[in-house]
Structure 1
Amino acid sequence: MQSLNTIIAQIRTKEDQVSQQTANLIDEAYQMTLYLEDLLQTTQDYILKKGFRDIAEEIEFFRDIKPQILGQLIYYNKVFRIETLCPVKDGKMYQKFYMRQLQELKIDFEKHICGSHFYRYYKSGRSDRDEEYFLRGNINYRDGLNSYVFELDQRFSTYYDSKLARILANELIYNYLLTKINVEESSGSFLQNSESNKDIFWTDSKNALIELIYALYASGVISHGKIGIRKITLVFQILFRVPLGDIHHSFHRMKDRAGTRTSFLDHLKLSLEQYMDKGL
C-alpha cells in the first residue's frame, strides 16, 4: 500500500499536468474528478483484494490516506458544480453568487460539522479513539449518525473516514470560494481595518508575485509541501490585497518566456547579493 506522502505527491503532480492541459477551471475540475474517482476505485480494489497487514495499517489507511483521496474528489466535484452554475464573470451577480455559496458552506459546517464530537477530536489531533473511528465494523448507530451511513460499503469504509473526507473537502472549498470573492471582502478580520498592516502592499507586477508563489510551492518549504498552490495564493492575495486571477495560466505563459523564465527570482538573487556586498 502506498504511503500518504506518495498519494499526495501523485495528486499534486496530476493537478499540475491537468492545469497545463486544460483551458479553464471547469475543465480542470472535471478532469481531476475523473482521475480521483479512478484512483479511489483502484485503491478500493487493492484493499478488498489484499487487505491490511495489521490494525495499525488499517487505521492509517482510513485515517490518513482514504480521506485525502475522497476529500479531494468531493472538492473537485463541488468546484465543477459551482463553476458550471456561475453567472458572467465579474460584476455584482458574480460576487453575490460566490458569497451565497460561501454562506451555504458556512451553514452546512455549523449544522453538520463544527459541533460534533468527532470534529473536536480531529481538530485536537487526538489518537486515543482511532480504533473506534478508523477500524471497520465499529459503526455505532447510537451516535445518531448521518443517514448516508446506510449507503456506505462497510468493506471499504468506517463511516468516520468519510466524515473526515468531508471535513477536508469543506476546508478546500472554503479556501477556493475565498479566492473567488473580492480580496478585501475575503480578508475578513485577518487584515481588515488593521492599522498595523495598511502599509503592506505589493509594488511589483502580478506575474512577479505569481513566480514567487510557484517557487515556494515547488520547493515545498511551506507546511512541508502539503498544501496546494491555491491556498498559498490565497494567503498572498490577502496579505498584499491583490487579486491574482487565474494563476495557473499566468504560470504557463511564463514557461514560454523568451530568455530566462525566472526573471523575478533572478532579480531577487541579484538584489540580495548586492545587499550582502554592502556590508563588506
Structure 2
Amino acid sequence: MKSLNSIISEIRIKEDKVSRETSHLIDEAYQMTLYLKELLHTTREYVLKEGFKNETEEIEFFRDIKPQILGQLIYYNKVFKIETVCPVKEGKMYQKFFMSQLQELKQEFKEHICVPHFYRYYRSGRSDRDQEYFTRGKINYRDGLNSYVFEIDHQFSTYYDSKVARIMANELIYAYLITKINPEEPSSTLLHSGESTKDIFWTDSKNALIELIYALYAAGVISHGKIGIRKITLVFQILFRIPLGDIHHSFHRMKDRAGSRTSFLDHLKLSLEQYMDKGL
C-alpha cells in the first residue's frame, strides 16, 4: 500500500504536468478528473485484492489516503462542470453566476457535509473513534445518515471516508469560487481583520511572489505538504491583496528564463546574508 505522502506526490506531479500541457482550466480539470478516476479505480482493485496488513493500515487508508484521491476528484469534476456552463467571461452576469454557485456550495455543505458529531470530531483532530469511523462494517445507522450510505461500495468505503473527501473538496471549491467572484480583492470577502492589515501589501513583482509560493509548495513546508498550490496561492492573494492570475503558466515560463531561474530566491538569500553580516 502506498503511503499518503507518495499519493500526494503523485497527484502533485500529475497536476504540474497537466498544467504545463493545457492552456485552459477546463482542459486541466477534465484531464485531472480522468486521471483521478483511474487512480481511484486502481487503488480499489489493489485494496480488494491485497487487503490490509492490520487495522492501523486500514484506518490510515480510509482516513487519509482515499479521501485525498476522492476529494481531489470531486473538486476537479466540479470545476469542470462549473467552467463548462459559465455563461460569459466577465461582467455582472459572470459575477452573479459564481455567486449562485457559492450559495449552492453552502447549501450542499449544510445538507451533506456538516454532520455535527463527525464534523466536530474531524475538525478537532481527534482519533479516539477512528476504529468506528474508518474501518469497514462499522456503520451505525442510528446516527441518521444521508441516504447515499445505501449506495456506497461497502468493500471500499466506511461512509465516513467519503465525508472527509467532501470536506476536502468543499474547501478547494470554496477557494476556487472566491477567486472567481472577487479576484482583485479576495481579502474583502474572506478577511475581516479591520485596519491592522491595510498596510500589508506586496511591493515586488507578481512573478517574484509566485516564485516564493512555488518554493514553499515544493519544499512541503505548509501543512506538511498536504495542500495544493491553488490553496497556498489563495492565502497569499488574501494576505497581500494581489490577484496572481494563472500561476501555473507564469511558473512554467520561469523555468525557461535565461540565467538564474530562481532570481527572487537568490535575492532573498543574498539580502539575508547581508543583514546577518551587519551584526558582526
TM interval, short-chain normalised: over 0.9
Give identity over the alignment, percent. 80
Question: Superposed, which structure 2 residues align to 1:12-161 within 5 Å?
Answer: 12-161=12-161
In 1, the alpha carbon distance for the partners of 2:248 and 2:179 equals 13
| Cα distance, 1:110 vs structure 2 | 2.3
Q: 1:149-204: CA deviations, max 9, x gaps?
A: 22211111111111221111111111222222214663247544621111111111
| Cα distance, 1:267 vs structure 2 | 2.1
Letter in 2 for 1:209: L
- Counterpart of 1:216 in structure 2 is 216
Q: CA RMSD in A?
A: 1.8
Does residue 196 (structure 1) correspond to residue 204 (structure 2)? The answer is no
Q: 1:227 to 1:180 in 2, by over 3 A?
A: same
Answer whether contact 2:66 2:161 (CA < 8 A) is retained: yes
In 2, the alpha carbon distance for the partners of 1:176 and 1:39 equals 23
Q: 1:51-104: CA deviations, max 9, x gaps?
A: 112222212211111111111111111111111112332322222222221121
In 1, the alpha carbon distance for the partners of 2:207 and 2:184 equals 20
Does residue 248 (structure 1) correspond to residue 252 (structure 2)? The answer is no
Answer whether contact 1:36 1:73 (CA < 8 A) is retained: yes
Q: 1:190 to 1:154 in 2, by over 3 A?
A: closer
- Counterpart of 1:238 in structure 2 is 238
Q: 1:183-239: CA deviations, max 9, x gaps?
A: 466324754462111111111111111111111111222122221111111111011
SS of corresponding position for 1:203: coil
SS of corresponding position for 1:195: helix
Answer whether contact 1:183 1:238 (CA < 8 A) is retained: no
Answer whether contact 1:71 1:166 (CA < 8 A) is retained: yes
Q: 1:153 to 1:124 in 2, by over 3 A?
A: same
| Cα distance, 1:112 vs structure 2 | 2.8
Which 4+ stretches in 1 moved above 6 angstroms? none
In 1, the alpha carbon distance for the partners of 2:154 and 2:193 equals 50
In 2, the alpha carbon distance for the partners of 1:69 and 1:153 equals 16
| Cα distance, 1:115 vs structure 2 | 4.7
Letter in 2 for 1:243: P
SS of corresponding position for 2:128: coil
Letter in 2 for 1:215: A
Q: 1:110-133: CA deviations, max 9, x gaps?
A: 233335211111112222222221
In 1, the alpha carbon distance for the partners of 2:31 and 2:194 equals 40
In 2, the alpha carbon distance for the partners of 1:152 and 1:115 equals 17
Does residue 181 (structure 1) correspond to residue 201 (structure 2)? The answer is no
| Unmatched segments (≥5 aa) in structure 2 | none
In 1, the alpha carbon distance for the partners of 2:119 and 2:208 equals 39
Q: How many residue pairs were aligned?
A: 280
Q: Greater shift after overlay, 230-239 or 133-142? A: 133-142
Answer whether contact 2:185 2:241 (CA < 8 A) is retained: no
In 1, the alpha carbon distance for the partners of 2:144 and 2:80 equals 31
